Amino acid sequence: MASVLSSAVRGLLRSPQVALKGRLNPRINAPSLPDLVSIAARQFSGLSLTTAKTTAVSSSSSSSPSVKTHPPCRHFNFGDLVAEERMATMHAWGKPVRKRPRPKNPLGGERGPYRKGIVIRTIVKKPKKPNSANRKCVLVRLSSGKETTAYIPGEGHNLQEHSAVLVKVRNLRDVPGVKLYCVRGKYDLQHVVKKTPQAK
């Protein structure tokens, strides 16, 4: 310990900074011997700590070779590859956009405002509360092949089985399931006959 300190003090005395400090600026005295001893002790303590660390690391490295250990993991199979590819595709698609489903066309088949149909039979439907008057309807087979119910607007009608009618898309609010109206004055369905007032 003493020999190491004395060699450190000798090295500090021989250092060019100390020599220049005393030679170039005579007003500033060179560090005294106790100061040199304390500086050497500080340097020696730091040196000893660093050497102890390096020796510990070298001894541990020499005792056991440096082998990287990984946590246990399962084997990679084809299913993982497929799932990873699917996830990459989904990320490429981006955030799913929720679209409203297209409203169903009550006429069936191609979209259009009107459709011709043949009357299968006439029926009477009862409305929802608070309405009570019966609704005159017909069961028609459309040109698209779909069978559905259509409402006959106005007072009175002349429809019967095998009559030809033209229907349009319009919802009857107080009768569930009736989404078509018959067009008056087209094909076999006549216009509404206006009642003439009776003379007294």
- Using one digit for the tens of pLDDT, what is the confidence trace for 16-51? 444 444 444 444 455 555 565 566 566 555 544 444
* pLDDT reported for residue 102: 82
In the predicted model, what is the mean pLDDT of the chain?
Answer: 75
* pLDDT reported for residue 76: 62
| More confident position, 180 or 58 | 180
Domains of the chain by range and CATH? 2-47 (no CATH), 114-182 (2.40.50.140)
Q: How far is C-alpha 148 from the chain's CA centre? A: 40
Q: What is the average pLDDT across 154-179?
A: 94
Report the percent of the chain where pLDDT is more than 70. 60
Q: Which amino acid is at 53?
A: K
Q: How many CB atoms lie within 10 A of CB 77?
A: 9
- Using one digit for the tens of pLDDT, what is the confidence trace for 64-117? 555 666 666 666 677 777 888 888 888 888 887 888 888 888 888 777 889 999
Which of 117, 151, 158 has the alpha carbon at shortest distance from 134? 151
